[in-house]
Amino acid sequence: MDSLDTQVLAAARSWAAAGHRFALVTVARTWGSAPRPPGAWMILRDDGQVQGSVSGGCIEDDLISRAASGEFTVELGNAAPRLLRYGVTADEAHRFGLPCGGTLELVLEPAPDAGLLDQLAQRIATGQLVHRRVALATGKVSLESGSAGDSQQWDGETLVTLHGPAWRLLIIGAGQISHYLATMAQALGYRVYICDPRSEYADGWDVPGTERIAEMPDDAVSALNLDPRSAVVALTHDPKLDDMALLEALKSPAFYVGALGSKANNGKRRERLLQYFDLSQAEVDRLHGPVGLPIGSRTPPEIAVAILAEMTAVKNGRNLPSTVAFADPYACKIE
């Protein structure tokens, strides 16, 4: 569940508490190019106010227009969900601004259960992954426990969406770059953990929404029981700490493992990992170091952007090769 959909959930609960009626719209399926992925949310209030997005704007405008014309008046007082399709023809795709003939199927719930939305928010707040199941034929909505590796399901009759911090990021080191990386990662839907046994850094950590792990880096990696939706980024620039995390993370199914440092220092790191630790060449080859895409980053926020860009590329199956030299302004002599 990304940060935009989390905002939608918060707005829905607020509107319900204030006595507003609203419809919940979910992207069920896409064909071709589509601006928003399956599972994306939008809510449409009875007075035309919206929160969230299911497209680049044109479909939202159409939904608002249809609601204002009274088309959804009955539905807004009726709990039965309905299926909406956009972009079925080339002309319609062009009309709604869907690129490359994209097509969307949307599930519209005219009167979502506010109590279930509260339950969903509470379970997400405790770190749970939750399935939200909507049966179009009966209108029944239920919440079920999810697990890492789950994905959205849609068979034309039942929509199952996944909610909660499906992606996790463990950051080793509580320095400047980590502050920016943690903040940006949360905006992308990551549940962020920070580990730094150095009190001079850890005691000043103040990024809201993150979780501190008061263990050594290797123990922190083991404690999290990393899965294919997990990432580890080592940013202390101290091999005594970074290597401890890496030797465990590289043996895990984590989709991304990266370490800060220059190309030369990461070369030495790879040699150490092979020579002194029980790691195979294939495991060491999983290391992204220098960490991040080579976009000429110099400042801490720029480096955080580069790291998240590479993580996103790997997560989406687009592991881009490093073709430009990466100048690390934080390189040091300790390695």
pLDDT at 331: 43
- What is the domain count for the chain? 2
Name the residue type at position 315: K
124 lies in the same domain as 172: no
**249 lies in the same domain as 145:** no
The helix (run of H) or strand (run of E) holding residue 91 is helix 90-95
| One domain for residues 123 and 226 | no
**pLDDT score, position 19:** 93
* Predicted TM-score (pTM) of this structure: 0.65
Please tell me the distance from the alpha carbon of residue 303 to that of residue 295, in angstroms, as a whole number: 9
Sequence-separated (6 or more) residues with CB below 8 Å from residue 81: 107, 108, 109, 110, 134, 136, 139
Same domain (yes/no): 198, 297: yes
pLDDT score for 148 = 64
Within a domain: 332: no
The answer on 34 and 72 residing in a single domain is: yes
Same domain, 15 and 55: yes
pLDDT computed for residue 93 by the predictor:
56
Residue pLDDT, tens place only, 6-34: 889 999 999 999 999 899 999 998 876 66
User: What was the pLDDT predicted at 3?
Assistant: 63
| pLDDT at 328 (0 to 100) | 47
- What residue ranges of the chain have pLDDT lower than 70? 1-3, 32-35, 56-57, 72-79, 88-102, 148-149, 165-166, 319-335
- Given 163, 180, 202, the domain boundary residue is 163
User: How far is Cα 45 from Cα 256, in angstroms, rounded to an integer?
Assistant: 40
- Residues 22 and 50 placed together within one structural domain of the fold: yes
Q: Are residues 247 and 99 in the same domain?
A: no
State residue 276's pLDDT score: 85
- pLDDT of 334 reads 35
CATH of the domain at 203: 3.40.50.720
User: Are 123 and 7 members of one domain?
Assistant: yes
Residue 64: the pLDDT is: 86
Predicted confidence at residue 333, as pLDDT, reads: 37
* Residue that finishes a domain, picked among 120, 142, 163: 163
Q: What is the pLDDT of residues 96-105, one digit of tens each?
A: 555 555 678 9
Which pLDDT score is estimated for 34? Answer: 61
Region at 231 (left for phi over 0; alpha for psi -120 to 50; beta for the rest): beta
Q: Domain range holding 134?
A: 3-163
